Structure 1
Amino acid sequence: MGLPSLELRCRGRYVWGVRTVWHTEGDGEFYCPNCGGDRNYCRRSGVRRLTVLGVPLLSRGPAGTIAECGVCHRRYGLDVLDAPTSSRFSAMLRDAVHTIALAVLTAGGASSRHARQAALEAVREAGFSDCTEDQLIGLLAALAADEGRLPGAYDSLAGALDGCGTWLSIELHEALEPLTRHLAPQGRERVLLQGARIALADGPYLPAEREALAAVGRSLRLPAEDTDRLLEAAARTPS
């Protein structure tokens, strides 16, 4: 960032030059592309100064603001801070899978032990390693309560959740939109297929499950034809 230092030597001494003086404004954690992992960084602003015999005299204007890695000391533009850290990315993926699992169960698989088990496995693999089936059931019951449909037992949960989905588009958007910006198309497809496996765990897609998965595809910014193709392929694949 900024212009390189310019200096003039005279008999082994620097007579004059232009150097950048950096001032640290703050710090934090970021994903360093050079190190390939999470690192601490310093946010630094620079001013170019004319120096004579090593003494800074006149300002030559700002040199911009950069983020400097605390380990490799590579300097980057501040747009590098837009990328999530590895830990933040893992948390976003975990929350996305958890929301998709709840959406699919809400759409029709809540009363199926197979669907609940598939959802539980997906949520655990995504990072909620200590999640239990009872916790999933509790969350589903809370959703039903928000809609004024209180289930009396597990076997009536599906009826209580039938049509309970006013939260769906908002929750999916909030959970998936931050993640989608940092996922390649193949990664977005894998996230969608996790929801498809949950829906197919107890048999063919129900209409409401297809609608929920279509909403997942839209939140992942997948073209509708790609979402349909992936869901149909998943349905043809033996479990």
Structure 2
Amino acid sequence: MRPAKGQRAIGLRMYGIRTVWDTVGDGEFFCPGCGGDRNYRRLSGRRRLTVLGLPLWARGSAGPVVECAACRDHFPVDTLDHPTTTRFSAMLREAVHTVALAVLAAGGTTSRTVLETAAATVRDAGLDDCTQEQLFTIAEVLAADTGPDGTGPGAEACSAALAIELHEALGPLAPHLAVAGRESVLLQGARIALADGPYGQAEREVLATVGSALRIRPDDTTRLLAAAARTPS
């Protein structure tokens, strides 16, 4: 015999599953629900069968999840892989600064125009106090073991060190940039290299490394660099 409608409703109130959440961590993250930086709690849950509202028997685990302190929504833990807006801005500034230094180290720092272009590019990225003198000093240190044409005894080691620096600065940023954003970072480096004339061989190699670190296909990197060279400054 089927229970009456009222009996079914009573049954639903008598039995149920409740999840008890425990906080296992906290911090700041970019909330997909709020669309901004928020505090979060990382939660681990335990499901319990309840009778008359009392938790009695364990029914397995739940989560872990991330709970936004503002909207209280729950999100997968991999949401924490997305940088906060503050961290993202810092990563972008660091990326442009590293690209500028790598291009300067590869192409030399004897051109005032190149230094002016590099400093302006870095300041536009958010490092307002960057000066030509600062870039000159750091770039000279990076290129100290190479010859004037980038073929000295330390050139290979310097090139490898620059490649490592570029991948460390650009690799974590690339997944969070749209295609246009990744191309923009590459083109900023290209404009610095072109400030004193056509690309040198060392500059081309550095910019190819920039494209690789930004997950831009080699053919697209070549196309973008060629287009930048044809564009009047």
TM above 0.5, one fold? yes
Superposed CA offset, 1:4-60 (max 9, x none)? xxxx7529x932211111111111111101111111000011111111111111111
Q: What is the CA–CA distance in structure 2 between the aligned matches of 1:161 and 1:130, rounded to whole Å?
A: 29
- Is 1:132 aligned to 2:141, yes or no? no
Deviation at 1:140, TM superposition (A): 1.7
Superposed CA offset, 1:86-107 (max 9, x none)? 1111111111111110111111
Q: Structure 1: which amino acid aligns with 2:176?
A: H
Asked if 2 retains the 8 angstrom alpha-carbon contact of 1:109 and 1:116, the reply is no
Q: Secondary structure at the match of 1:10?
A: helix
Asked if 2 retains the 8 angstrom alpha-carbon contact of 1:106 and 1:165, the reply is no
Match of 2:148 in 1: 159
Q: Structure 1: which amino acid aligns with 2:148?
A: G
Match of 1:58 in 2: 57
Match of 2:10 in 1: 10
Match of 1:112 in 2: 111
Q: What is the CA–CA distance in structure 1 between the aligned matches of 2:176 and 2:216, rounded to whole Å?
A: 14
Q: What is the CA–CA distance in structure 2 between the aligned matches of 1:225 and 1:200, rounded to whole Å?
A: 20
Q: Structure 2: which amino acid aligns with 1:94?
A: R
Match of 1:68 in 2: 67
Deviation at 1:141, TM superposition (A): 2.6
Q: Is there any run of 5+ residues in structure 1 with no aligned partner, and where?
A: 1-7, 150-157
Deviation at 1:184, TM superposition (A): 1.8
Deviation at 1:124, TM superposition (A): 0.9
1:113 to 1:63, Cα distance in 2 relative to 1, 3 A: same
Deviation at 1:161, TM superposition (A): 6.4
- Is 1:20 aligned to 2:14, yes or no? no
Asked if 1 retains the 8 angstrom alpha-carbon contact of 2:92 and 2:125, the reply is yes
Report the number of matched residues: 221
Q: What is the CA–CA distance in structure 2 between the aligned matches of 1:215 and 1:78, rounded to whole Å?
A: 32
Q: Structure 2: which amino acid aligns with 1:225?
A: D
Deviation at 1:231, TM superposition (A): 0.5
- Is 1:188 aligned to 2:177, yes or no? no
Aligned match for 1:229, one of 220, 223, 231: 223
Q: What is the CA–CA distance in structure 2 between the aligned matches of 1:133 and 1:218, rounded to whole Å?
A: 27
Deviation at 1:201, TM superposition (A): 1.0
Q: Is there any run of 5+ residues in structure 2 with no aligned partner, and where?
A: 1-7
Q: What is the CA–CA distance in structure 1 between the aligned matches of 2:121 and 2:68, rounded to whole Å?
A: 35
Show structure 1 runs of 4+ deviating over 2 A.
8-11, 158-166
Superposed CA offset, 1:134-164 (max 9, x none)? 111221232244x3x6xxxxxxxx8396645
Superposed CA offset, 1:116-139 (max 9, x none)? 111101111112111111111221
Q: What is the CA–CA distance in structure 2 between the aligned matches of 1:24 and 1:235, rounded to whole Å?
A: 55
**CA RMSD of the aligned region, Å?**
1.9
Match of 1:98 in 2: 97
Match of 2:199 in 1: 205
Match of 1:35 in 2: 34
Q: What is the CA–CA distance in structure 1 between the aligned matches of 2:228 and 2:92, rounded to whole Å?
A: 21
Q: Structure 1: which amino acid aligns with 2:208?
A: A
Q: Structure 2: which amino acid aligns with 1:38?
A: D
Q: What is the CA–CA distance in structure 2 between the aligned matches of 1:70 and 1:24, rounded to whole Å?
A: 12
Q: Secondary structure at the match of 2:78?
A: helix
Match of 2:48 in 1: 49
TM-score by length of 2: 0.89
Deviation at 1:192, TM superposition (A): 0.3
Q: Structure 2: which amino acid aligns with 1:27?
A: D
Q: Structure 2: which amino acid aligns with 1:172?
A: L
